[in-house]
């Protein structure tokens, strides 16, 4: 079982992560992780912070001479902006002279956190509720992802829509993806590389341009945009996950992982909500024999039946709401006076869907890797690889 | 922390459940649970089994003189059909003369389960992967739900669409719900009672009739239908859940609970996927002061911000795919010969969306109740109630 | 990961258990489990209940045609005495006419449970805190034990002392055990069979007789006795468990399992407390090469180094306090009047150490089996067996 | 529920810890934690490393202006010796020129770890299996301990024996402890302060001197010593823990915590193994009424009945084996040649029982604090304090 915990406030000293339960012998480098951190910071529509900070990870334990030791891997990402926040975010001292934040932003945890903990400074909430935390989630999960790659399992993603700029012809994109997936187990990675070439990670060129224009317009209006992204996984063997108990179903675990990303409000598997509109005769994936191999003539299920992988490409989608911090702020109230006032503006993005898609790639890895280890268990990578091959 | 495990094969002797971690002092009766089991068996479009079996629960432990003891509650639902399956589902013996099933049904776990475990009889899979298991999930979670009700928290649900028969005017239904929710914390329960009057649990009368007609037509065609349902929760205090760690976020935990229901392929919170198309200025819920009370002028977030309840109605939606077992069977293959053959038909429903909505009501309860106990902890109900009131 | 939950009050309808996470393909029968339940009921010094009830288990799910299905296994043990307790332990009804218990027994959970939950009838506590619950623990864990046996791992136990009747010469017994363990991986089982021939499960005949006499005498005096038992496990491969994180260390997990048995107040591994008195030069197990095989010249560590199995026999010991319910009752007070009064006598044993040793054998199985599955993972027994052999 | 994970190799860059689930509002400083780290490094018999390194913690997150935020607290302890190990413990690079360790030390995880993970350099094991890791356990648990203190619960410890130097008269020490515990809930802390005055943390002056002499002698002989320590907790309310399910019993959880400390081979609660020799009439703690207060006339149970606190002082003991690394090394073999050879000597302590007792104080805190939060739950310290007072 793989566990990971993250820690760290948005403007504190550092983000910290501990990843527990990885097999020994996985090749990993900070460079490999940094590449994913870099991808998480890209995308048209990001705010100022992305320009001033370039996240780099420091591996503090669990790796020796470039390989995992089977021991807990701890990671550190220094907040480069911390120097400007030393006083406001001091661990010690009374903070007596630091201004309290008292105007909650709708859509954020500001208010609920203050009620929950009895804080009188909203900063005590927003520093951790911030999506900045996902940098460490990506760092931890990237190691898990490397393990999956060593097992022949590859994760990718692309963006389907930003605001109303949506793929005109989904079939086109599907054909594009299929072109890759028919070739190799690493197909998902190839798709994600292709998506990385677009500033908004949309595979269709014209839709990509429309999305950029929409973001530009929203920015000018002091507004923000959300969107939908898709995570795909190729190379998955049949039989990962479990139908025997509700909390071991892979569909539930993957939904949790995606829904727990900040600002995600919807998750779909395979044809998802569209499935609800169809007849059964059009919704499932018939079995066909290709020589001695059993195959399917479609993939409406998105690779999961009964909460278990069926050997087809895993297809997950998530809907991200528009960023809650607007340059032209939403209506709020001052908690001290209860008088109406605009929400406070804190430097933010206009659109972060491309980043969210990269985060989505990362967070699905632990559930998949735990399922791999349950089915092909072993303490070291080479043993697990042998177990996989022997099936 | 509330835990529950279920056990039991679809045609075995019984379904069994153990619910762990409930406070002492909650009034519970088998009658109360049976009512929810009965609701789970209703709905236009159910198959033969629903007519021959009426589930009733036996409480074996954890309750004395009508109140929980704080000890594990164990439940039993006898499979009334077991007499006809004694030989096929025998716990002991060789089963030598029992016919093996070798034709997997697309959309079910039949094939993936057989590959996973190396079974040569698909029945070894389908008996547990079956949605029959949800009867025990409903039984366990109904006790949790009773606890929530004692805390002033009420859960309800209604169906939004079946196949293409979808609410013409969602606003109408929202107004209907609002009429109740403005009055009392038990509003969700009132809504669910209203929905129970429709054979498909759709609040709008005309849509309900169209849905019934669609099911009738699908049945005639040997086909099946899915749909979308909505679970709502009223009376939730602010501050349940946690934004501090990915696996404690209530949005993720609720998504897992719903996605782990058989045949669910999508989950939304609040405005969900629709959020992804909107601008930030139209997507969030501004704060307004009503006298000394802080309120919101909308509920796009569906009651959760940062994975924490914000005091508004919780709104969750789930998409159910059409039943995978069709009277006019899907294409499959015989696993022995790899020759094409129609999938085997096993008695099934045409549409089970109304039942799924009742299951949805149930399965969200443990995550909510665990959050209540974390925030207002105590060993006995009256202590927890005092803690809630004192906030 | 193996999970199990038990439920059931001592005089309620039944004990219930669910065992989750077992591989498919393990041969299991109720007869096999009943044998362990029978062993748990034996031993000189047991009270009346053991004579009137002979526990038998009913397997309700998870097993078909004598083999596990990989699905949750649920078990039922009916309380044969329930007929006499129908009114007192009724699930429903007001219980208005049932006498409340108000005199707590020192050493039991009676008082702490009443304070914890606010009960005014101590029966609400003692019914679950009772060691009767261990019958279901034994039943669940026996299935896990069968899995271990299929992996070549065998568990046994014997009693070392009852009251002051203690093995005069521990070395004698060690030689006896060694005679078996030098021969076969199932040695532990052989030892346990031998111990079963003594009415108090003591391998040395004279000590056994002294123990019986001590129990006889205690009984006459209205008193009770505790003792010490040893659980041994043979056939364990090197490398089970983990030193990487505190909560994955096998020594900690085994200590938890044993200490959680009712009335256990001490746990030792290998030479245990005796170790604390020795010099390092006399306390560890030097490596020796026997041909190409690496071996040890002693087993002071009891088979665990760094929380990981080292291929030697696992040796665990537990100390059981004397039964807290005495025929000549301890001093107590009436909770209503706070006046001194003798504790209430409820039918009980004079000595249950032999039974506790059988329970000890059972409860260590899940931690060991989880470690086996982590190291040699797979969904079905034959796959796991292949993984073990290939090491 | 409180969770914590530690990471870090003994000679790597740093030890890292994340503590999750703490309430908001607990006053904490690095100074407070450093004091416990300092105590962990004391004791007559420690080796060279303790002299060259003085552990200090850096709080990286979860604390602002001296108070916990309810968010994950991450801690860092730099390994001051790392500069000398940069090459040998490099995270990146091939390590080609670094000498492999091939001679396992009996009593350590060296060999079992190498077999488990297939390592050919024993350093890959010993760096994490080392008790160095407990520095971070102490750091994390010290914060939990501070929370307990704010709830009126205090933890202390003292050493009972080192090698054969054992308290001549345990009753003397008990009287000493009683003198404090009769006065205040913080008694345990007072006792621990007193113990800190002895170089071996033994309360009895003459035994302390004999222990120092024994260590001196062992050192001269190139040998090592273990011992027994006792952890006590005062101020515990009645009703923490749970008898309802085996894995929620506080006795089991505390035994796990202590047994998971490196080199611990035995754990006792209350009178422990001594209990096994006594009659029931002498082994339990009769109830007595002191005015309107219910009290006990003894504390054989050590504060736990049925796995639940009974309001008496919690008494836990643990046996530590002698350090496995000897200056006059134990017999081992070279894994390359299988030829006999002395075990490699790596700088080590002669006796670490005083340190272990400080570690023991720390590691019991999370289980106790989780039980407090379950019974008196709340998100912030002041709320929990109010809940405690209102009982």
Write the CA distances from B131 to A299, B134, C271, integer angstroms: 22, 5, 52
Q: What pLDDT is recorded for position B249?
A: 98
- For residue A169, how many other CB atoms are within 10 A of its CB? 11
H/E run at residue A331? strand A331-333
What is the per-residue pLDDT for B344?
80
Q: Do the beta carbons of residue B194 and residue B279 sit within 8 Å?
A: no
Q: How much is the pLDDT for B50?
A: 61
Categorize the per-residue pLDDT at C181 as very low, low, confident or very high, splitting at 50, 70 and 90: confident
Residue from A12, A59, A115 to probe the interface with D (highest D Cβ count within 10 Å): A12
CA dist A345 and D8 (Å) reads 40
What's the rounded Cα separation, in Å, for the pair B127 and B9? Answer: 5
- Per residue in D273-318, pLDDT tens? 999 999 999 999 999 998 889 999 999 999 999 999 999 999 999 9
Interface test with B, best of D387, D389, D390, D391 (most B CBs within 10 A): D387
Taking CB atoms within 8 Å and a gap of at least 24, the contacts of A298-301 are: A299/A270, A300/A270, A300/A271, A300/A275, A300/B321, A301/A269, A301/A270, A301/A271, A301/B107, A301/B265
Nearest to A20 among C245, C378, C387 (CB): C245
**Chains touching C (3+ CB pairs < 8 Å):** A, B, D
111-170 in chain C: CB under 8 A from chain D:
111-113, 115-117, 125, 128-129, 137, 161, 163-164, 166
**Measured on CA atoms in the order A363, A366, A369, A370, is the torsion positive or negative?**
negative
CB-nearest partner of C322 from D137, D278, D332: D278
H or E segment and range at residue A116: helix A110-117
Confidence tier at A364 by pLDDT (50, 70, 90): very high
Q: Tell me: the pLDDT tens digits for B197-224?
A: 999 999 999 999 999 999 999 999 999 9
Rounded CA separation A280/A270 (Å): 15
As a whole number of angstroms, the distance between CA A252 and CA A308 comes to 11
User: Average of pLDDT values for B247-264?
Assistant: 98
Closest partner CB to D378 (pick from B20, B244, B377): B377
Beta bridge partners of A293: A290
Which of B1, B3, B6, B9 is best to mutate for the C interface (most C CBs within 10 A)?
B9
Q: Could you tell me which chain B residue has the CA closest to the CA of A270?
A: B265
Give per-residue burial for B24-47: e unless 16+ CB within 10 Å, then b: bbbebbbeebbebbebbbebbbbb
How far apart (Å, rounded) are the C-alpha atoms in residues B324 and B224?
8
Site of tokens 């022949």: A152
Question: D13 and A60: CB-CB below 8 Å?
Answer: yes
> pTM score, two decimals?
0.97
Of A217-226, A290-299, C29-38, the least confident: A290-299
Q: How far, CA to CA in Å, does A165 sit from each of A159, A209, A214, A263, D83?
A: 11, 9, 7, 19, 54
Q: How many CA atoms lie within 13 A of B13 on its CB side?
A: 16
**Which residue of chain A is at minimal alpha-carbon distance from B284?**
A107
Fold (CATH) for C3-390: Chorismate synthase, AroC fold (3.60.150)
- Using left for φ > 0, alpha for ψ between -120 and 50, and beta otherwise, residue D216 falls in alpha
pLDDT of D179 reads 83
Q: Dihedral, CA atoms, D103, D107, D110, D114, nearest 10 degrees?
A: 110
Average pLDDT value for residue range A16-23: 98
Stretch A132-157: mean pLDDT: 97
Alpha carbon distance B49, B34 (integer Å): 17
- Kindly tell me if the per-residue pLDDT of A363 is higher than 80: yes
Distance CA C219, CA C351 (A): 9
Of B8, B89, B383, the CB nearest to C64: B89
Which SS3 state, helix, strand or coil, does residue C182 take? coil
Nearest residue, CB atoms, B375 vs list D72, D245, D378: D378
Determine contact: B92 vs chain C, CB below 8 A. yes
pLDDT, position C180: 80
Lowest mean pLDDT among B126-135, B175-184, C255-264, D192-201: B175-184
User: What integer pLDDT is reported at residue B174 of this predicted model?
Assistant: 84
The end-to-end CA distance of chain D, in Å, is 21
Check: CB of residue B32 under 8 Å from CB of residue B38: no
Residue D242 has φ and ψ, to the nearest 5°, of -155, 135
- Give me the mean pLDDT over the A322-332 stretch: 94
B374: contact with D, CB 8 A cutoff: yes
Question: Has the ipTM of the complex gone over 0.85?
Answer: yes
Distances (CA, A) of C206 to C68, C202, C353: 43, 9, 17
Distance (Å, rounded) from C-alpha B382 to C-alpha C11? 26
Identify the burial level of A385 via C-beta atoms within 10 angstroms of its C-beta, where 0-12 means exposed, 13-18 middle and 19 or more buried.
middle
Characterize the bridge pairing of strands B154-162 and B165-166.
antiparallel
Find the DSSP H helices in chain D: 30-41, 48-52, 110-117, 123-129, 134-150, 170-181, 187-196, 205-220, 250-259, 272-275, 353-363, 365-376, 381-389
Structure confidence at residue B264 as a pLDDT band (50, 70, 90): very high
Residues D257, D258, D262: CA angle, nearest 5 degrees = 105
Percentage of chain B lying above the pLDDT 90 cut: 87
Per-residue pLDDT reduced to its tens digit, D104-147 = 999 999 999 999 999 999 999 999 999 999 999 999 999 999 99
Tokens 């621990």: give the residue.
D192
Specify whether the CB–CB gap between D140 and D17 falls below 8 A: yes
Compute the distance between CA of residue D115 and CA of residue A379 in angstroms, rounded to an integer: 10
* Mean pLDDT, chain A, whole residue set: 95
Positive or negative, the Cα torsion across B274, B275, B277, B283? Answer: positive
Query: What pLDDT is recorded for position C67?
Result: 98
pLDDT mean over B82-92:
95
User: Which two structure tokens, joined as six digits, stand for C23?
Assistant: 């591989």
Beta strands in A176-262 (DSSP E): 227-234
CA distances D272 to B345, C158, C263, D89, Å, are 62, 19, 10, 43
What pLDDT does residue A162 have? 98
Q: Is the dihedral of CA D202, D206, D207, D208 positive or negative?
A: positive
Q: How many CB atoms lie within 10 A of CB D218?
A: 24
| pLDDT attached to residue A113 | 98
Average pLDDT across chain C, whole number:
95
Higher pLDDT: D193 or C52? It is D193
Grade residue A104 by pLDDT with cuts at 50, 70 and 90. Answer: very high
Predicted confidence at residue A96, as pLDDT, reads 87
């Amino acid at each position: 079982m793989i566990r990971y915990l993250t820690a760290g406030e948005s403007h504190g000293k550092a983000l910290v992560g501990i990843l527990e339960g990885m097999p020994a012998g996985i090749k990993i480098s900070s460079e490999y992780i940094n590449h994913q951190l870099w991808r998480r910071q890209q995308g048209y529509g990001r705010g100022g912070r992305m320009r001033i900070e370039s996240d780099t990870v420091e591996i503090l334990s669990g790796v020796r001479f470039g390989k995992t030791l089977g021991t807990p891997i701890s990671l550190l990402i220094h907040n480069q902006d911390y120097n400007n926040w030393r006083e406001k975010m001091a661990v010690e001292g009374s903070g007596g002279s630091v201004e309290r934040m008292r105007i909650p932003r709708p859509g954020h945890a500001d208010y609920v956190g203050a009620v929950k903990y009895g804080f009188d400074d909203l900063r005590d909430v927003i520093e951790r509720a911030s999506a900045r935390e996902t940098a460490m989630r990506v760092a931890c999960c990237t190691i898990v992802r490397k393990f999956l790659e060593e097992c022949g399992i590859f994760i990718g993603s692309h963006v389907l829509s930003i605001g109303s700029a949506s793929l005109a012809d989904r079939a086109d994109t599907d054909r594009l993806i299929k072109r890759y997936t028919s070739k190799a187990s690493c197909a998902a990675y190839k798709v994600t590389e292709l998506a990385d070439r677009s500033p908004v990670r949309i595979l269709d060129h014209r839709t990509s341009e429309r999305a950029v224009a929409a973001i530009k317009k929203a920015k000018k209006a002091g507004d923000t945009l959300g969107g939908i992204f898709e995570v795909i996984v190729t190379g998955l063997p049949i039989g990962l996950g479990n139908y025997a108990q509700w909390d071991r179903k892979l569909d539930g675990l993957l939904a949790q992982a995606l829904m727990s990303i900040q600002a995600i409000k919807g998750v779909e598997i395979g044809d998802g909500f569209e499935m609800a509109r169809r007849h059964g005769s059009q919704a499932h994936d018939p079995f066909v024999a290709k020589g001695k191999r059993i195959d399917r003539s479609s993939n409406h299920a998105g690779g999961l039946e009964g909460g278990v992988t069926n050997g087809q490409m895993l297809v997950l989608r998530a809907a991200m709401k528009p960023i809650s911090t607007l340059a032209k702020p939403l209506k709020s109230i001052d908690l001290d006076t209860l008088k109406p006032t605009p929400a406070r503006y804190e430097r933010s993005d206009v659109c972060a869907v491309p980043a969210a898609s990269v985060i989505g790639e990362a967070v699905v890895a632990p559930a998949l890797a735990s399922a791999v280890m349950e089915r092909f268990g072993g303490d070291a990578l080479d043993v697990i690889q042998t177990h996989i091959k022997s099936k």
